[in-house]
Amino acid sequence: MIFTLHIWRQQNSEAQGNFELYQIDVSEDTSFLEMLDALNEQLIEQDKEAIAFDFDCREGICGSCNLVINGAPHGNHKATTTCQQYMRDYADEKELWIEPWRATAFPIIKDLIVDRSSFDRIIQAGGYIEIRTGSASEANTMPIEKHVSDAAFDSATCIGCGACVAACPNASATLFVAAKVTHLSTLPQGEMDKKRAEKLLTAMEEEGFGGCSNYRECERVCPKEISVSTITTMNKLLYQST
């Protein structure tokens, strides 16, 4: 399979970036990131600079493979990260435009790599529970209704990749914040912090993310299918704290 690739190249956040044109012939069973690896091998053999892109687990659980492919964060498959996609998924799209997340709060480090440490700072603002740590208590010490634990677990699956930000016209991180708030504040251990929603939302605004306008693009592109209902839960907790 021969693909024409338009890949964003940019030396750093201050430099002027642009798309560069490449061609590659790969097997349909090649994963998307393996294709980029193969392209980099070709570039190195030609004494050219390799394309910088981020990855870690290649199993869809770390969220670092943050690429926009033909305008879609993580590519054209629903509930799938970039690293889990294969070139056969693009058999009908022989020309691919590959670029990084686009958000002021995610400055470009180089080429396809962005700095997502703003998410870390949001978590530091209140993404924890103020409870004694140590050895685990007995499971029946604090009974939790199943629908509550299920909701908390569903929110906890958020991998913090930032696809919600990349898809949002406002570059809002509201879905990410709502997932963290719902994960921690709906469990009994986290209920004591009544200001968590306020602290995380304030941190989000300080980092330069936009506000939520209910476009719901975030829900559509989330690789873990986090529901916008978490935003409703977060807003309810926010109003209760005022």
Write the pLDDT tens digit of every residue in 59-83: 999 999 999 999 999 998 899 999 9
Task: Indicate if 164 and 221 belong to the same structural domain.
Answer: yes
**98 pairs with which residues across the strands?**
7, 69
User: At 189, is the pLDDT very low, low, confident or very high (cuts 50, 70, 90)?
Assistant: confident
Report the pLDDT value the prediction gives residue 190, as an integer from 0 to 100: 86
Mean pLDDT computed over 208-222:
96
Q: Does residue 107 belong to any structural domain of this protein?
A: no
If one counts the domains in the chain, the total is 2
Q: How far apart are CA 8 and CA 53, in angstroms?
A: 10
| Domain final position from 99, 131, 154 | 99
123 in the same domain as 90: no
Q: 183: burial class by Cβ within 10 Å (0-12, 13-18, 19+)?
A: buried
Question: What is the per-residue pLDDT for 133?
Answer: 67
* pLDDT score of 117: 97
Element of type H or E holding 237: helix 229-240
Alpha-helical runs (H) found in 157-215: 163-167, 174-185, 196-206
> Residue 195's pLDDT is what?
93
Q: In what order do the strands lie in the sheet with 72-73?
A: 18-25, 2-9, 95-99, 68-69, 72-73
Residues 83 and 188 reside in one and the same domain:
no
Residue with tokens 């890949």: 7
pLDDT interval class at 127 (50, 70, 90): confident
Q: Which residues contact 149 (CB under 8 A, 6 or more apart)?
A: 187
Residue 235's pLDDT band (cuts 50, 70, 90): very high
The predicted model gives 77-94 an average pLDDT of: 94
Q: What is the pTM of this model?
A: 0.93
Are 40 and 33 a contacting pair, CB within 8 Å? no
Residues 35 and 122 in one domain: no
Final residue of a structural domain among 99, 127, 143: 99
Question: Is 235 contained in some domain?
Answer: yes
Q: Residue 88 sits in which domain range?
A: 2-99
Do 130 and 200 fall within a single domain? yes
Which are the contacts of 242, defined by CB distance < 8 A and separation ≥ 6?
198
**Helices and strands per DSSP (H, E), number in the chain:** 8, 7
